[in-house]
A = this chain, B = another copy of it.
Amino acid sequence: MPATPFSPSSFFILQPRFNSYLHPLFRSLSSSSPLSLNAVNNFSTFALHSSLSPPSDTDSPSSATGPGARSGALSPGPAPSSGVVQKIDVNPPKGTRDFPPEDMRLRNWLFNNFREVSRLYGFEEVDFPVLENEALFTRKAGEEIKDQLYCFEDQGKRRVALRPELTPSLARLVIQKGKSVSLPLKWFTVGQCWRYERMTRGRRREHYQWNMDIIGVPGVMAEAELIASIVTLFKRIGITESDVGFKVSSRKVLQGVLKCYSIPENLFGRVCVIIDKIEKIPIDEIKKELKVAGVSEEAVQELLQVLSIKSLAELEERLGSHGEAVADLKQLFLLAEKFGYSKWLQFDASVVRGLAYYTGIVFEGFDRERKLRAICGGGRYDHLFSTFGADDIAACGFGFGDAVIVELLKEKGLIPELSLQIDNIVCALDEDLQAAAAMVASLLREKGQNVDLVLENKPLKWVFKRAARTNAQRLVLVGSSEWQRGMVGVKILSTGEQYTVKLDDLK
Contact = CB atoms under 8 A, between A and B. Distances in A.
A378 to B, nearest CB: 15
Interface in A448-485: 448-453, 455-456, 465-466, 469-470
A162 B93 CA distance: 11
A62 B359 contact: no
- Between A153, A184, A334, the greatest number of chain B beta carbons within 10 A of the residue's beta carbon is seen for A184
Nearest to A118: B450
A92 B128 contact: yes
Interface string A123-138: 0111111111111101
A9 interface: no
A99 B127 CA distance: 5
A435 B338 CA distance: 6
Contact of A383 (B78, B91, B335, B381): B78
Contacts of A6: none
A328 interface: no
Contacts of A184: 455-456
B445 A93 contact: no
Contacts of A455: 184, 214, 217, 219, 221-222, 225
Nearest to A453: B225
Interface in A145-171: 150, 152-160, 162, 169
Given A154-B150, A228-B438, A135 B89 contact: yes
Number of chain copies forming the complex: 2
A177 interface: yes
A499 interface: no
A356 B438 CA distance: 30
Interface stretch (A275-283, A366-374, A386-394, A405-413): A386-394
B126 A75 contact: no
Interface stretch (A14-22, A64-72, A311-319, A489-497): A64-72
A140 B72 contact: yes
Interface stretch (A27-35, A100-108, A238-246, A343-351): A100-108
Interface string A312-341: 000000000000000000000011011110
A2 interface: no
Contacts of A219: 455-456
A442 interface: yes
B88 A389 contact: yes
Contacts of A156: 61, 94, 196
Contacts of A141: 72-74
Given A87-B389, A159-B66, A434 B221 contact: yes
A79 interface: yes
A132 B93 contact: yes
A186 B98 contact: no
A173 interface: yes
Contacts of A121: 445, 450-451, 453
Given A132-B92, A386-B79, A469-B182, A127 B150 contact: no
A61 B157 contact: yes
Contact of A62 (B80, B133, B265): B133
Contacts of A300: none
A104 B127 contact: yes
Given A89-B133, A136-B88, A76 B125 contact: no
Interface string A20-64: 000000000000000000000000001000000000000001110
A456 to B, nearest CB: 6
A172 interface: yes
Nearest to A472: B122
A266 interface: yes
Contact of A139 (B73, B337, B339, B390): B73
Nearest to A266: B75
Contacts of A196: 154-156
A180 B46 CA distance: 10
A101 B74 contact: no
A97 interface: yes
10 contacts: A74-B384, A88-B135, A101-B126, A122-B450, A219-B455, A221-B456, A225-B453, A232-B445, A335-B438, A338-B439
Would you list the 4 A-B pairs with minimal beta carbon distance, nearest first? A79-B386, A87-B389, A73-B269, A122-B452
Given A73-B269, A74-B357, A93-B132, 4 more contacts: A76-B359, A79-B383, A221-B455, A337-B435
